[in-house]
């Protein structure tokens, strides 16, 4: 489901998911740049949201998870190398989850942070969503 989305075919992230945690890597490419020749914040957001989202989704096996809100703090630019986002669930209730994510470069320097609220939907996971 994740790899098959049109956006991910363009960005080409790699994703590793564990119980309550996830890690995403995206090699930096010039076609991610804004006019000042570094990665656009939309790529930062996608990496942070995906890492947090899949940390939550790893705990929900029956329905699709929705991002309800997400706050991002941009800290420093990057123009080469690797983006590595890690997500971790920090709160879990019956329908609502909170997850935090951190975006770093290949040397571990923090580039951005994010916090999201996620909820269980009523949409069952299944072949209609590309979920196998």
Give the domain CATH number at 50: 3.10.129.10
Question: For position 131, what pLDDT does the model report?
Answer: 59
Quick: pLDDT tens for 31-85.
999 999 999 999 999 999 999 999 999 999 999 999 999 999 999 999 999 999 9
Residue 16's beta-bridge partner residues?
23
Q: Whole-angstrom Cα distance, residue 57 to residue 64? A: 8
Question: For position 68, what pLDDT does the model report?
Answer: 97
126: pLDDT confidence band, cut at 50, 70 and 90? Answer: confident
More confident residue, 8 or 113: 113
**37 occurs within a structural domain:** yes
Question: For position 129, what pLDDT does the model report?
Answer: 60
Q: Whole-angstrom Cα distance, residue 124 to residue 43? A: 28
Query: For the chain, how many structural domains are there in total?
Result: 1
**1 occurs within a structural domain:** no
**132 occurs within a structural domain:** no
Structure tokens at 122: 């009523």
**107 occurs within a structural domain:** yes
Question: For position 16, what pLDDT does the model report?
Answer: 96
**115 occurs within a structural domain:** yes
Domain that includes residue 40, residue range: 6-127
**68 occurs within a structural domain:** yes
Question: For position 127, what pLDDT does the model report?
Answer: 72
Please give the mean pLDDT across all residues of the chain: 93
Q: Are the C-beta atoms of 121 and 77 separated by less than 8 Å?
A: no
What three-state secondary structure class fits 35? Answer: coil
More confident residue, 95 or 48: 48
**47 occurs within a structural domain:** yes
Query: In Å, how far are 28, 30, 52, 89 from 72, measured between CA atoms?
Result: 19, 22, 12, 16
Question: For position 36, what pLDDT does the model report?
Answer: 95
């Amino acid at each position: 489901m994740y790899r098959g989305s049109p956006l991910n075919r363009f960005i080409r992230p790699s994703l590793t998911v564990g119980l309550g945690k996830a890690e995403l890597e995206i090699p930096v490419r010039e076609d991610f740049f804004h006019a000042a020749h570094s990665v656009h914040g939309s790529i930062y957001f996608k990496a942070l949201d995906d890492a947090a989202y899949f940390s939550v989704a790893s705990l929900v096996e029956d329905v699709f998870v929705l991002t309800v809100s997400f706050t991002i703090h941009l800290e420093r630019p990057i123009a080469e190398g690797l983006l590595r986002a890690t997500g971790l669930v920090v709160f879990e209730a019956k329908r609502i989850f909170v997850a935090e994510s951190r975006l770093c470069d290949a040397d571990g320097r923090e580039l951005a942070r994010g916090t999201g609220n996620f909820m269980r939907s009523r949409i069952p996971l299944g072949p209609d969503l590309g979920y196998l």
